[in-house]
A and B are shown apart, each in its own frame.
Chain A
Amino acid sequence: MESLLRVEDLNVRYKSYRGELKVLDDVSFEVKVREKVGLIGESGCGKTTLLKSILRILPPNSIIYKGKIFFKNIEIIKANKNEIFKIRRENIGMIFQDPMSALNPFFKVKDQLYDALRYSVHNIKSQQDLQQMIIKLLKEVALSDSERILESYPFELSGGMRQRVCIALALTRSNDLLLADEPTTNLDVTIQEQILNLLRELVNKRGLSIVLVSHALGMVKEFVDKIYVMYAGQIVETASTDKIFSEPLHPYTKLLLSAVPRLTGRWKAEGLIGRLPDYVNPPPGCRFYMRCQQSNSNCKIKPKLLKLNKDHSVACWLYGDEEH
C-alpha cells in the first residue's frame, strides 16, 4: 500500500523556564492510504504533540528540532504557509478531545459549518447548494434533527451531538486523513460506542486514513489496524492490532495492558511504580528504564526500533541480537 503520511525522526521540544523540554525524541511514524492507525500511551507522553506537529499547530514556545514529515510528497515542516493552509483546508482534518472548546460558543452550528465549507470546497454554486451540502453532512454524522441543530449554539447541544458536529467540521476538511485526538474521552460509554461506530462507517465510506489517539484501549482495539505505543516521547513498539494485544513485547506495552480493568474481574495491575521522566533531563537511554522491572545495564543506551518481523517492531534491548 502507498504511504500517505510519513514522519521521520521527529524531535519536538518546548521552551520552558527550566530549559528545553525534549518531548518528542526520534519519532518515526507512518500512515498508509486507507489505513487506521492507533496511537496509545499515558497522558503526557507526547501523543497530542505528535498530532499537532503534523498539522503544524504547535504552540509558539515549541521548536521542531529535527526531523521530517512527508504528506503525499510535501515536506510539511519546510512547506510554506499557503501549502500548509491548503493541507489543513483540504487534506487533513482533526477532531479534538473537548468538543466544547473546539466549537466557537458565539456562532450557530450553521455558521460554523458554512464557514468551514466555504473555505474547503471550491465548487459551491449557490446558497441553496451550500445549504444542501450542510444538511447532507449532518445526515452523514447521524444528526437527524438537522433544522434545530443548525439553528443551535454549541452550548445548547449535548456532548455527543457536539462531538458529531466536530466530526462534521473535520470531515469538510479531510479528503485524505483524519486525526482524532481522544474523540470520546469526555463522553458516556453508550455515546462513545455510537461515535466510534459513526467514525468507522465514515472512514470506510469515504476511504480515509485515520490516526486515533486514545488511552481507552478496548476502543482502539475494535477500531484500528495498526498500533503505535508511545512512552515519554518515544515510539516503543508498533505492530498490527492483534499482535499488540495477543503478544505484547515491550515491558511498557505489557504494563499498559495490565492496567486496563477487565470484565473478568481478575484485575490487579502490578508494577505501576514511578512516573514519566522529566523532559528537561530525560534518561539518555531507554526512557522507560527507570520504571522497567526487566531493565539491565544495556538500557542506558538508547535502543532502536527493531523490526522483528513484517508487522512487529519493538525498541527494547530484551529482543533481537546484540548489534541491534
Chain B
Amino acid sequence: MNELVITGRRFRLLSDRFKKFWFKFSRSSLSIIGLIISTTCVILAVLAPYIVPYPEHIEWYIDYDNALRPPNLEHILGTDQYGRDVFSRIIFGMRYSFTLVVVVLSIVIPTGIVLGVLAGYFKDTWFDYLIMRISDTFVAVPPLVMALAIAAVLKPSMINSMIAVSLTWWPWYARLTYSAVSSLKNEYYIIYSEVIGVSKLRVMFVEILPNCIGPILTKATLDVGWVILVGAALSFVGLGAQPPIPDLGTMVAEGAHLLPTTWWVSIFPALTITIIILGFNLLGDGLKDVFTEEKY
C-alpha cells in the first residue's frame, strides 16, 4: 500500500471533518458572534502589554490631575480616582481573569475527569460511593457561596482565590464524566474490549473517555465565563486579588462608591465581564450543537 496515498487521504478526511464541524457550527449566527467575541477577548488579553495606550497605569500610578475624567479621546473609557486609564486596566484585568480561568480549569478538568471516569467505571463500588458522596456535598452548596467560604478561611490573594474556585469546581466535571461513563460502559464496544482482555486503564481512558469529550468541552467553554464571574465576585468582596492588581472584580468594587456620577469607573469593567460571559456562552452553545449528533 502506498504510504503517500494514505497520508493524503488522511489529510483530506481531517479537512473534511473540519468542514463538517464548521458547517454545523456556522448554522447559527449566534455561535459565530460568540466565537468572534471570545477570540477577540483572548487576543486582547494575550497582547495586552503591546496594545494598551498606558501600560504604566496598571498598578502603582497616581496622577490626581487627570483623576475621574469621563470618557474622551485620550482616555476612551475615562480615568479612575487615581487618574489611571480605565481601558488599559480593563485589558490587563482580562489578562488576570483569563489566567485565573486557565489555572482553575487546568486543575479542575483533569481532576474531575479522572475521578469521574474511575467512579463511573467502578460504579456501585465503595470508590464510586466515596467520590460521588464527596462531590454531592460540594454540589449541594452554590459554588459562589462555597468559594466565598473557602476564600474567607484562606488569606485573600490571587493564588488563594484560584484554590477556592478550583475546590468548588471539580465535582461538576466529575459528575458530568461519571454519568457519561457509567452509561457508555454498557456499550457493546466496551464489553468487547473487556472480553478480549484490554487492560482496565486502556478501556477507561482510550476506549471510553474520548466519547465523553464533547460534553466536557462544551462545559469547559461555558465555564470560562462562570469562573471569571466567581473570581470577580471574590475580588469584589475583597477575598480575591488585592489592589492595585487590576482585577475586573476589584475594579468594580473600587468604582462602586463613585456611582452614579462617575459611572465609567465601575460600569465598564462590569460590562466587560458581561461581554466575556456572553461570548463564551454563545460559543459553548454552538459547540453543543456540533457535538449533538443528528441523523442527517
A contacts B directly (C-beta below 8 A): yes
Give me the interface of A with B, judged by CB distance under 8 Å.
Answer: 14, 16-18, 59, 61-62
Contact residues in A for B24 (Cβ distance below 8 Å): 17
The complex places the Cα of A61 from the Cα of B24 at a distance, in Å, of 10
The complex places the Cα of A18 from the Cα of B24 at a distance, in Å, of 12
Task: Report whether A18 and B19 are in contact in the complex, using a CB–CB cutoff of 8 Å.
Answer: yes
A102 smallest CB distance to B (angstroms): 14
By CB atoms of chain A within 10 A, which of B16, B20, B24, B296 has the most?
B296
Question: When A and B form their complex, what is the total count of cross-chain residue pairs whose Cβ atoms lie within 8 Å?
Answer: 17
Total interface residues in chain B, CB < 8 Å: 10
Task: Report whether B20 and A17 are in contact in the complex, using a CB–CB cutoff of 8 Å.
Answer: yes
The complex places the Cα of A160 from the Cα of B294 at a distance, in Å, of 27
The 16 listed contacts between A and B (C-beta, < 8 Å) are: A14-B296, A16-B23, A17-B16, A17-B19, A17-B20, A17-B22, A17-B23, A17-B24, A18-B16, A18-B19, A59-B294, A59-B295, A59-B296, A61-B27, A61-B296, A62-B296
The complex places the Cα of A14 from the Cα of B295 at a distance, in Å, of 12
The complex places the Cα of A61 from the Cα of B27 at a distance, in Å, of 10
Nearest residue (CB) in A for B24 is A17
Contact residues in B for A59 (Cβ distance below 8 Å): 294-296
Contact residues in A for B19 (Cβ distance below 8 Å): 17-18
Give me the interface of B with A, judged by CB distance under 8 Å.
Answer: 16, 19-20, 22-24, 27, 294-296
A24 smallest CB distance to B (angstroms): 14
The complex places the Cα of A16 from the Cα of B27 at a distance, in Å, of 11
A307 smallest CB distance to B (angstroms): 34
B91 smallest CB distance to A (angstroms): 36
Known: A17-B19, A59-B296. 15 other contacts (CB 8 A): A14-B296, A16-B23, A16-B296, A17-B16, A17-B20, A17-B22, A17-B23, A17-B24, A18-B16, A18-B19, A59-B294, A59-B295, A61-B27, A61-B296, A62-B296
The complex places the Cα of A62 from the Cα of B22 at a distance, in Å, of 18
Nearest residue (CB) in A for B17 is A17
A155 smallest CB distance to B (angstroms): 16
Contact residues in A for B16 (Cβ distance below 8 Å): 17-18
By CB atoms of chain B within 10 A, which of A16, A17, A59 has the most?
A17
B210 smallest CB distance to A (angstroms): 22
The complex places the Cα of A280 from the Cα of B19 at a distance, in Å, of 15
Nearest residue (CB) in A for B294 is A59
The complex places the Cα of A14 from the Cα of B27 at a distance, in Å, of 14
Nearest residue (CB) in B for A61 is B296
The complex places the Cα of A3 from the Cα of B23 at a distance, in Å, of 41
The complex places the Cα of A9 from the Cα of B23 at a distance, in Å, of 29
The complex places the Cα of A61 from the Cα of B20 at a distance, in Å, of 14
Contact residues in A for B27 (Cβ distance below 8 Å): 61
The complex places the Cα of A18 from the Cα of B16 at a distance, in Å, of 8
Contact residues in B for A16 (Cβ distance below 8 Å): 23, 296
Nearest residue (CB) in B for A21 is B296
Contact residues in A for B20 (Cβ distance below 8 Å): 17
The complex places the Cα of A62 from the Cα of B294 at a distance, in Å, of 14
Contact residues in B for A18 (Cβ distance below 8 Å): 16, 19
B93 smallest CB distance to A (angstroms): 39
Contact residues in A for B23 (Cβ distance below 8 Å): 16-17
The complex places the Cα of A17 from the Cα of B16 at a distance, in Å, of 8
The complex places the Cα of A18 from the Cα of B15 at a distance, in Å, of 11
A57 smallest CB distance to B (angstroms): 13
The complex places the Cα of A62 from the Cα of B19 at a distance, in Å, of 19
A142 smallest CB distance to B (angstroms): 31
Nearest residue (CB) in B for A58 is B296
A66 smallest CB distance to B (angstroms): 20
The complex places the Cα of A17 from the Cα of B20 at a distance, in Å, of 5
A68 smallest CB distance to B (angstroms): 24
Nearest residue (CB) in B for A14 is B296
The complex places the Cα of A101 from the Cα of B22 at a distance, in Å, of 29
Closest 7 CB pairs of A and B: A17-B23, A17-B20, A17-B19, A59-B296, A14-B296, A61-B296, A16-B23
